[in-house]
Amino acid sequence: MGLIYRTFLEGNNIYACSQCKTHLATEDFILSKQFQGKYGQAYLFHQVVNIIQGDEQDRTMTTGLHTIKDVLCTKCNTILGWIYIKAYNDDNKYKEGKCVLESKLLIEAH
């Protein structure tokens, strides 16, 4: 495996990994704060940086069956949430390619 370069984001309201403070997203990347994660409230982002994707898996969620991949922090490997690969219900197709991060695993970095 080669050297991993991390992206540092600029601006106000930067969300970072709570374990190692690696930048992940900005407030501008949020599509919705109305998501439920494993640990409570979660946010849907259209873009996230400094993540590694796990293996594809089918997971039944409150909105039905989805194919997802866990997303991990590139620095500390903490599982932060998941990315939607495929939504089987037409009403959920907008989630495909979007990332959900658990709010309890995020901090605001400055």
CATH number for the segment(s) 14-109: 2.170.150.20
Q: Is 5 helix (H, G, I), strand (E, B) or coil?
A: coil
Digitized pLDDT (tens) for each residue of the chain, 110 residues in all: 567 789 999 988 999 999 999 999 999 999 999 999 999 999 999 999 999 999 999 999 989 999 999 999 999 999 999 999 999 999 999 999 999 999 999 999 87
pTM attached to this predicted model: 0.92
Task: Using the Cα atoms of residue 59, residue 88, residue 100 and residue 68 in order, give the sign of their dihedral.
Answer: positive
Distances (CA, A) of 35 to 1, 91, 99: 34, 15, 11
Residue ranges per domain, the chain?
14-109
Dist. CA 56–CA 83, nearest whole Å: 10
